Structure 1
């Protein structure tokens, strides 16, 4: 989640070493590396998109809202293309000194009541990533390709579980979504050269930062495998439409053979200034498959 007041002068990469893997506790950790220069998406999310308002928004924003979409046999219509994609938006993120700001992230459905996204999409007023009940209202829309499409599902995030080893979180929804096939979790490690598809709702401008009104899509390949992250390169030259920009944090990198279902490999963490050349740093999911299933209650597999 990033905002449009400019990038921080120091570009940081959130990553974890093998030593962290061996000794992590219940909280995440971060280290700085000189190997890869990347703009941390969290840097932008932690800045204000506009001058903060002087008061919290009306309490009505706290209510769980549901659209009144067209229906098929009494059920909401969802996009037949990548229906598992999720758009996350908030308008009441507290800022230091008072007031609130807006922000956005991307994600994907991994269980009827759960989505996966970047850990830095949920933080306290000091910017520390946190779990539990969110400090602000985060609305999640699933099952659309454009904001104006009929149907889809809208819910609120009610609980967050932060990964113990990388910039990743799973978030519980206020309402189960049972007519979308979630992305499946990986049961093996990725390979260098593996092709991955990307889908996110981030900005389509390098200067005017705001979530897109439509789903962006692209294709990447795995360039490097680290203990908790991957580095990915675009298959074709970057544009704001085919690669991550601000507000694409948490976007899924996945494999799909039918444009409707898929297997999740990683999620967006950080990368070069949009849409400049460079490698994306994405959080591995395969190392957390068992942990995710425990958090979501899916321990039967």
Structure 2
């Protein structure tokens, strides 16, 4: 491994760890300063942890929400270890560990108990932190592995599965603690999702043009890790040195850009790669669950 490659890996690791710390801090602010004081129940494992913590507290059992949240994630770690990329899972464990620690040490401060304010600001802060983590190729844990597994078993879309699971959590919270808070919780989940989309445009499509002299190595790598259709233009002639090149054209999402970058650095770092954004797709384009 070259010195440049080692330095690049180190910089990527430092960047990811920095983003993890920022995410954990913002997430703890959303939970401890807005959601908890306003009795707002988030979606996913966070909402389940909140419900369990409230039930335990009513039964005089002091179990911090940070511990409940971490314990709920442990089965997801195991599931993801076998269903998803293992390096990805290790970063997920770091994310969840940092978030749990931040929840535990950041004091619960009541700025307001207005449920609308708590729902909107809690959702916005959480959405920003989640979008930031996803933008840098990180997973924040939760039910991602479970949702992907259910999708593989049932063929349902991730959006439908997520809505159903979060809907069940909100209904349970409403039944146990009051229906008004269930509606406020829905508002917070909606705001969180919208802000996440603003920060991290996962489903935005881009057109990638690759000019390479190693098509026999590049094409199999792209097909294996991206599973996208590729248009091949062979025997293209470079005007500068008159060398024969192969042009590859494919459409991917911004979510897959990091994977593409990694592939090209490993297979053909000398290839010319251009990316065109803001394209419009008229035919069918399948969203893939790549993590």
Normalised by the shorter chain, which TM-score bucket? under 0.3
What TM-score do the two structures reach when normalised by structure 2?
0.24
Which has a greater percent of helix? 2
Which has a greater percent of strand? 1
Q: Which protein shows a greater Rg?
A: 2
What TM-score do the two structures reach when normalised by structure 1?
0.23
